[in-house]
Amino acid sequence: MGSRTWIKVYCDNWLEGSLREEPLAIRAVWIDLLTLAGSGKYGDSGHIGLTKNIGLSNADFVKIFNISIPTWSKIRLQLVATNRIKILHGNVIEIVNWSKYQSEYNRQRPYRQEKEPESCNQKLHVEKEKEKEKEKEKESAAASSSLGGGNDLTPPKEGSFEEYAEELRDRFPYLDFDLELEKFQLYWSEGSRKLKRPKSALLNWMKKAERWESEGRGIQNESKRASVDPPY
C-alpha cells in the first residue's frame, strides 16, 4: 500500500456540516478513520484493513483511537447509521464517498489509467500508418522507375516471380506473353543453367521477343532461340 500522507477536508463542511452535530468523540474518531484509510499502513483506497479481506479487530481500533471498547462500539454504530462507513466482510471498514476526501489528482487517476493504454494504442496506430505511407512511397517510386524504360523493373513489393511477370505483361501487349513466359521458364530449367537475376533476364527475353516479332522473324524455333546468348 502506498502512502498518501494527507487527505482533503473541506473547512466549511467540517465546521458547519452535519458531522458538527455529533459529539466530539465521534468527530475525532471520524478523522482518525479517514487518516487510516489513506495512510498506506492500513489502507490507501478508502478501505481500512490488514489486507483486502482481513480487517482490524475491535481491540486494534480501541488501541489506535485510545478509547474504550463500549465507546468504539457506539461510535461505529453511529457512523454506519449516518452512512459514513460500511462494515465489510472480515471487519474491513469502507469509507463511504471516499473520493470526496481525495485530491483532484488522485480522483482523476482511474481516468488517466484508462486513457494511457488508449494513448499508447493511438501512437502505435499512427506509427503503423506512417510505415504504410513509406511503403506506398517506395512502391510508387519503383513503379515510376519501371515506366521510365530502365533495364530492370522492381515489383511494387517483394513478391513472387509470377507477380513480376504479371507486371511485365502490360508492357508487351503485342506478344503472346504466356507462350514466351513458358519458353523462358523451359529454357532456364534445362541443364544446369543458373539464373542470378531472373527479373532482368525475363525483361530482356521479352524485349528480344518483341524486337524479333517487329522484324517479322518470329521466335518459335526453339533451337534458334537457344543459340542466342542468354541475357545473364
**Residue at which a domain ends, from 57, 83, 109:** 109
Among 200, 203, 159, which Cα is nearest to 181's? Answer: 203
What does the pLDDT look like over 218-232, one tens digit per residue? 544 444 554 555 554
Domain shared by 89 and 159, yes or no: no
Reported pTM? 0.44
Q: Is residue 164 domain-resident?
A: yes
pLDDT for position 155: 39
In total, how many domains does the chain have? 2
Nearest to residue 197, comparing CAs of 226, 164, 228? 164
Q: Is it the case that residue 148 has pLDDT exceeding 60? A: no
pLDDT tens-digit readout, 20-33: 889 999 999 999 99
Q: Are residues 17 and 80 in the same domain?
A: yes
Classify residue 31: in a domain, yes or no: yes
Is residue 120 in some structural domain? no
- Looking at the domain assignment, is residue 173 inside a domain? yes
pLDDT reported for residue 60: 94
Report the alpha-carbon distance of residue 159 to residue 143 in Å, rounded. Answer: 14
Do 161 and 232 belong to one domain?
Answer: yes
Q: Is residue 213 part of a domain?
A: yes
Better-scored residue on pLDDT, 221 or 54: 54
CATH code, domain carrying 82: 1.10.10.10
15 and 92 share a domain?
Answer: yes
Q: How far apart are alpha carbons 140 and 135 in whole angstroms? A: 9
Q: What is the pLDDT of residues 103-130, one digit of tens each?
A: 554 545 555 556 656 666 677 777 888 8
Q: What pLDDT shows up at residue 103?
A: 58
Residue 210 lies in a domain: yes
Can you give the residue range of the structural domain that contains 40?
11-109
Position 146 in a domain: no
**CA geometry: angle 127, 133, 136, nearest 5 deg:** 145
Q: Is residue 46 part of a domain?
A: yes
* Nearest residue to 97 via CA among 42, 33, 49: 33
